[in-house]
Each structure stands twice: as C-alpha cells, then as structure tokens.
Structure 1
Amino acid sequence: MASRSVDIYERLNMVAQDGDIERLYELIAEYPNILEHFDNVSFCKTPLHISAEKGQTHFTMELMTLKPSLALKLNVSGFSPMHLALQKNHIRIVRGFLAIDSSLVSIKGRGRITPLHYVAQLGNEELLSEFLFACPSSIEDLTIKCETAVHIAVKSNQFMAFKVLLGWVRRVNREEILDSKDEDGNTVFHIAASINQTEILTLLRNTVNVKAKNLDGKTAMDILETYKSPIFPKATRLVCNAKEILLFGPSMTLAGYLSRKPSTIEGKNKLLGLNNLSKTRHGSRESTDFRNAILVVAVLIVTATYQAGLSPPGGYWEENSPNDDHTAGQMTMSFNLALFFTS
C-alpha cells in the first residue's frame, strides 16, 4: 500500500515536470484527495514547486487555482514556488502568482527573505514596481538581519532599484522606513556611506536622520571620514554632472561660481523648479531645497579642486588631540563634510 502511495506522487511529480494538465486531471479523477496530502506536511517539495521551477506556466496557474495553499508551502531548502520562479527568471509565472494572490510578494522564505527583497537584490526595477503596487505593505518586511528592501538594494549596488524604492516611500509618506536600522544599527544612509555611494547620499540627505548612530556609535559622516578622501572617488563624476546641469565651465571654482552671472537655467529655475535662493529662513520648502542643492554643488566643487593630490586644504592632523577634538589622520578642515550633511 505504501509503495502504491509513493507511485502516485511520483506520477504527480512527473506530470508537474512535464506541465501536462490533462494527466493532472486524470490523476485527480483517479485519486480525488491527491492534493490534500501536502496540507499535512510542514516542509515539502510540492508539484507547484516543480512546475514553477521548470517554467511550466499554464500548469502552474492551473494548479495554483485548484490548490492555492500550495503557493504558501516552503520546500526543505526554505523556498516557496514564487521564490523558485524568481531564481529561474520565470517572470511570466511570477506575474501569474501576483495576479492570483498579491500577498505572495510578502511570503517569507529562507532568512525571512521575501520576493520583494529578492527582486531588490536583482535590481529588476519594473518587477519591483509591480510588487510594490500589488502589495504595498511588503515594504515593511524585514529579513532575519533586520534589512528592508531598501537596505538590500543599496548593499547590492542596485541604484535604479533604490530610486524606485525611494520614490515609493515618498509617495506613500513612509519616509521613516529609510531610518530603519539593520542588525548592526546601520540605516540606509550608513550603508551608502560605507560603500561610498555618493549619489544615494545626495538623494537621501534631506529625508533621513543624518545624525543617526549605528551600534558602533558612528554616524554616516564618521564612516565617510574613515576614508582618506571621504567622498572623492565618485565626486568627480558628480561634479561633472552638476557643472553640466548648471552650465559650469571646465575649471570652475567655488568663488568663480558665486561671482559669475547666474545662467538662464539658474535664473528661471526651470530645471529645479525652485524659487529664489534668498528666501531661506521663512521661505518655501522649494527655496530650502534650492539652497541645499547649491550647498551640495559647493562641496563637490571644493572637493574636486584638491582631489588630484588627494590632500585637502590644511592637510591632516599629525597627532591626537588631548581633549579628543581630533585624531591623527583626520582632516583639519572636516567642516566641508559637515556642509554636505546640513541644510
């Protein structure tokens, strides 16, 4: 009797592997309770796992309709059918799962990694956007390392995925997620600093708590200062972009920028869509944003000015201060970094 039971499920597995819907219904006619077996097993390789992994789209959708609970099962490796479809890049099946049950975006597999986390790591911004719209609450899901999808996108150097996630949390007014800390107490801002992602730092600086400390008691600025040239490696490219946007010359200095006549773009604020820079204390949010943008440009110009020698103005402190004001190797003019993080 036991061998007969094994034979039934071997046949079912073969049917799933081949994606044969006709034979599936033949088995169901022969054994009406054949799919009930999987409800009683905590971790198992179901026929839905097999068909999703093999890319059998129509069979997967048929089986998912007949027995939706199979999509919630994890195999012995800790993966759901949707996880396996993502791993094998079977996007049509993934979208099929999404259409039938959007909550599968939040199903937690090995390491509490959800499909949203996985897509953020892969950097598929289109699928990431679909997941967010289908299951908005998935943005709150954490891995066992207390990572959000935003943490994972930044750690994986998936800049476009990060921008999608950033746009989403801003549109749904959930910016506090950006201040969420992982198991080491690091926010997204800390992580961006640790891998020198200056583009991300620039995008986040007006949104997050820049003074937040991780478990080592360090802010993102502290992490940047561990580099001998904190934001220099990528500063050149950003400076070039900023100069192009604001119509700078090829060798513009900060003094040169401030003393030059505003360009047409700056004067009309068409590109940034912002108001007069002079309205700062009691002005609009747009005025503050424009002032902040100018401060970022100023820092980039200053850093680029002395980047070639990798030696900032004034050099570095040669010895520790007795009152801990500075340490050996720290820049004597670290206020330039402070300017980057303050509005």
Structure 2
Amino acid sequence: MAEKKLYDSATIGDLATLKQLLQTNQHLLDVVSLTSCLKNVLHIAIKKGHESIVAEVLKINPELSLELDSNNSSSLHLAAAKGNAGIANRLMEIAPEMCWWRDGHDMNPLHVAAVKGNEAVLKEMLRLDAFVAAARLHHRQTVLQLCVKHRQLGTLKVLVEELGDTDLVNAKDDDGETLLHFAVRTNQLEVVEYMKGSGKVERLTKNFAGKTALDILNESFRNTSTYPKMKTILKSFSSRPIALSLPRFTELTIVAAILIATMAFQAAVSPPGGVWSQNKPKDEPGAMYYAGQAVMATIMPSRYRQFIRVNIVSFISSLVAILFLATAGSSDQWIFALLALISMLVSMASIGVTYGASLIMTNPFMKDFGLDNSIIISACVFAGVMFFIFVISSFRSGTGSVKRIIKKIGPTSCNFV
C-alpha cells in the first residue's frame, strides 16, 4: 500500500505525501515497480517532469539515478527525452559519465535530446562534455545526420554552432553519405539552405555508390516544388571559383615560397656571370667597374637591368605570398588564400623569367633569343598548367565540361566490339 502511494505521489507530483512516506520508510525508494516497464520512482518523476520530486529523491538516494529501466535507458536518457534542463543538470552533477551511456537503441542522452528537439538540454550537455557529440550510431551515422533524419533543424543548428566542427559536418557514414545526402533524400530544403549559410560544407562529395547530393536530387526530386532552389544551392557547392576550391595551403606551400625568395636573393648577390674580383684601373679603356659588381652589368647593361627587375618582382611577390599564407592559416577569410595564390603565381612566373634571362646572358647560343621570348614561354607554360588544374577540378566536382561530354557520349560509344 505504501509503495503504491509512493508511486502515485511521484506520478502526480505530490511532494508533501512523498516526503511523509519517505520519513516513515526511506527504503521505499529501493523498491522497483512490479509493472512490465520496471521503472523506479525517480524514472516516473522524470518522465512526468516533476523537478521537485526528483530533487527530493536524489537528496535521499542519489544512487537511484544510476539504475536503468527495461529499455536500458538511464535517468539522463529520460530527462533528455523530456527536455527538462534543470533535471538533466542535477543528474549530470551526480554522474557525468551518464552522458556516454547507450540505451537499447544504441543512443546516448545527447542523441536523444537531439532527436526530440530539446535544445536547452542539448546545450547543457555540450557545455559539460562536447566530445559526446562525436559518438557514432548504427552504420556510423553522426548526431547531425540523426537530426536531419528526424527533421530537427533547431538541434542541428545548436550542434553546428556550438561545436563549430567542419569535420563532423562533412563526416560520412558506412554508405559514404554526408549530411547533405541525408537532407536531399528527405527533401529538406531548409537544412540545405542553412548549411549553405553556415559555410561549413566544403564541397559536394560522392557516396560509395558514386553519387553526390546533386545526383540524388536530379534522380528523385525533379518534379517537386523545392527542386529549382535546392539545385541552385547544391550547384553552388560544386562550382565555386577555383581559388576557393583548392585545399587549404599547407606548410609545404610556405616552404616553396621561401625557396623562391631564397633563389631570388641568391641571384641578386651572385648574378649569372659572377662579379668582378677587383677594381678596374682608371687608365684602362672601357666602362668603369668595382670589385663586387656584376660582370654582366658592365658587359650587357640593358639585359642585366631587365634581369634585375624581374628578379626583384620574384623576390617581393614571394615575400608577399609568405605573409598572406601565414595570415590565411590563422583566418577564415578566403580573400587571404586568394591573394596568397595570386602572389605565388606571380612569384613562380617571375622566377621562370629570371631563369630565362640568366640563360640568355650566360649562353652564347641564346644571344639573340630575347627576354620577350622568355616571358612568352613562361606565360604559356603557366597558362597551360592553370588550364589543366581547372579541367581536373571541374571533372572531379562534376560540373566541368569534360565530365558533361563524357556523360553525353555514354558507355555505348566506348564499345569497340
């Protein structure tokens, strides 16, 4: 009879009756319900959202929070599903390790809060331990993909904004599918729009079936009202300017810039043809020179001036590239990466022209070759390389003309039998 009264008071939130019963017999809290649900008094109070009952029970027997119900759910799972941040905080203070516990559906309490759309509880859990959000579910699905599957845009925004983790946003499950794949499969335009605005999605990626989110959209949702807008957004992920499509500059890029700067500096202090070892006597005919001055400056003054101008451009542009590369590594502003790329191209082109000028001045067979020809060759080589990079980038993103031509040709054109 006392046990039934205890459960009834927890169900209806009758704190006075519960206190009276526990003053008489505190061991009543150790009794588990005889129903098939196998929930203790704390579980019932949490499900009903009676925070005062929960506080009283935890004060008398905090270990009760560690008991699981018949679904293998902890008390924190139940609080996450209910959405009561106050109760969740009390439970996490007693046993913070419960954030990692899995229920019968292999979900931890953070997963449950995300699925139920309980943003307040989710924020409290992230404040305590953000690493819990990295835990994967069945088929290695992420908590973000879980939010999309259950159409919980609010909790998705909380997770993306609180974590700020680009790797988690672009993570793949066992089928190679990302957050964008899930959003398109469930035809959720608002999720695609939000991910576009967040700037967290790097580019369209293929699943293990070789399909991007755009491919899935074109196959399954052409007749929907959301198709035109969603297609425009998805195409923007795959058709960004080439400067923004390049991977983030690494330390090797800075090493290349430093190497070019070193080469330009060395060419200035040790010019082709060497330097005079001693001063020219005044009584000897010809132009005056002094020890340490470039020999070519005396013999070929016009070409040496051209060589020096190009060498200075190469040296300065490489220093500017180093500056922008260092800034790009510590900033999210894409403009620094773009300026670094432009500076590197100028530096590389200039060092190529410097090389050509050195050959002209030191090789008698290239006396009539001319610096203009050297510039033209360098420009053509770099234009060809940039065109090749553009074609490869377009082919990989699925938006280039090369891939479209291959698709139009079709497999039958390759059948030579």
Q: TM-score, normalised by structure 1?
A: 0.57
Q: Deviations over 1:167-208 (max 9, x none)?
A: 3333xxx543334443544222322343454325533332x7
Question: CA 1:23–1:125 in structure 2 vs 1: closer, same or farther (change >3 Å)?
Answer: closer
- d(CA) in 2 for partners of 1:83, 1:56: 16
- d(CA) in 2 for partners of 1:91, 1:321: 58
- Secondary structure of 1:213 counterpart: coil
- Structure 2 counterparts to residues 35-50 of structure 1, below 5 A: 35-37=29-31, 44-50=38-44
| 1:162 paired to 2:156 | yes
Which one of 322, 326, 339 corresponds to residue 412 of structure 2?
322
What is the one-letter code of the residue matched to 1:281?
L
What is the one-letter code of the residue matched to 2:47?
E
In structure 1, runs of 5+ residues without a counterpart are 1-6, 240-271, 285-313, 326-343
- d(CA) in 1 for partners of 2:212, 2:9: 56
Which one of 162, 172, 178 corresponds to residue 187 of structure 1?
178
CA contact (8 A) 2:183 2:192 kept: yes
| 1:198 paired to 2:192 | yes
Which one of 276, 281, 289 corresponds to residue 341 of structure 2?
281
Tell me the residue number matched to 1:288.
none
Tell me the residue number matched to 1:223.
216
- d(CA) in 1 for partners of 2:343, 2:50: 59
Larger Rg: 2
- d(CA) in 2 for partners of 1:144, 1:70: 29
Question: CA 1:136–1:323 in structure 2 vs 1: closer, same or farther (change >3 Å)?
Answer: farther
- Secondary structure of 1:139 counterpart: helix
CA contact (8 A) 1:153 1:162 kept: yes
| 1:152 paired to 2:146 | yes
- Structure 2 counterparts to residues 1-343 of structure 1, below 5 A: 7-37=1-31, 44-170=38-164, 174-196=165-187, 197-200=191-194, 202=196, 203-206=199-202, 210-214=204-208, 216-227=209-220, 232-234=228-230, 275=335, 279=339, 281=341, 320-322=410-412
Q: TM-score, normalised by structure 2?
A: 0.48
Percent sequence identity over matched residues?
24
- d(CA) in 2 for partners of 1:218, 1:150: 20
CA contact (8 A) 2:99 2:125 kept: yes
What is the one-letter code of the residue matched to 1:322?
T
- d(CA) in 2 for partners of 1:10, 1:145: 43
Q: Deviations over 1:197-250 (max 9, x none)?
A: 4325533332x7x43533x343445434425759623357999xxxxxxxxxxx
- Could you say which structure has the higher helix fraction? 2
State the Cα distance separating 1:132 from its structure 2 match: 0.8
CA contact (8 A) 1:77 1:110 kept: yes
- d(CA) in 2 for partners of 1:74, 1:183: 30
**RMSD between superposed Cα atoms in Å:** 4.3
State the Cα distance separating 1:127 from its structure 2 match: 3.6
- d(CA) in 2 for partners of 1:228, 1:29: 64
What is the one-letter code of the residue matched to 1:151?
Q
- d(CA) in 2 for partners of 1:10, 1:277: 69
State the Cα distance separating 1:60 from its structure 2 match: 0.5
State the Cα distance separating 1:153 from its structure 2 match: 1.7
In structure 2, runs of 5+ residues without a counterpart are 236-331, 345-403
- d(CA) in 2 for partners of 1:227, 1:183: 22
- d(CA) in 2 for partners of 1:17, 1:234: 47
What is the one-letter code of the residue matched to 2:216?
I
CA contact (8 A) 1:193 1:220 kept: yes
